[in-house]
Amino acid sequence: MTTIHNLQASQIQTGDKLPEFALPITARLVVSAAIATQDFQDVHHDKAAAQEKGTPDIFMNILTTNGFVGRYLTDWAGPGSRIKKIRFNLGAPNYPGDTMIMSGEVKELSEENGLTLVHVEFRGKNGMGNHVSGSAIVQLADKGASK
C-alpha cells in the first residue's frame, strides 16, 4: 500500500517548480501505450511504415502524451486531486532512444466552491526540443475529505 500524500494549498505558491520527471522513450513504451490507448496507426508500431512516411522511427502517439501529462500532474498533486483542464501544443516527436524531461511551474492559485485550483504550466522536453508544452488546472484534494 503506497503512502497517500495529497498536496495542500498551504504548501504551494506561485512560482513553485514541480519536480522534474525523466521518461526514457523506448519502442516498447511507444507500442504498449499506443495499444493501451487503442491507437493502431502504423507510425506508432511499424518502423518501416513510419520511415516510408518520412519519419526516422516510430513515435509516441498523442493520447500517450496526454496520459503522461495527466500522470505527471497527479503524481505531484496526489490522488485526492482532480484534473479539470489540460491544454497543450505538440512539437518535437518522441522517438525511441530519446528521453523526455517533464517540468512544470505553478502560475496561479484560485478558489472555486471552497476548493483550491492550481494553474500549472508544464512542458516535456526531449533531445530535439519541446515535445509538449501547455497548461493545466488541477483541483487540490479537499482538506476535510483527505485521510
Residue of 8, 9, 115, 146 that binds other proteins (CB under 8 A) = 146
CA 145 – CA 132 distance, rounded (Å):
33
In the range 51-110, which residues lie near other proteins by CB under 8 A? 51-52, 54-57, 62-64, 66-71, 74-75, 79-80, 82-90, 92-93, 95, 97-98
In the range 14-43, which residues lie near other proteins by CB under 8 A? 29, 32-33, 35-40
CA 26 – CA 40 distance, rounded (Å):
17
Would you count residue 116 as binding other proteins (CB under 8 A)?
Answer: no
Would you count residue 144 as binding other proteins (CB under 8 A)?
Answer: no
CA atoms within 13 A on the CB side of 104: 28
For other proteins (CB under 8 A), the number of binding residues is 54
Sequence-distant (≥ 6) Cβ neighbours of residue 121 within 8 angstroms: 104, 105, 107, 133, 134, 135
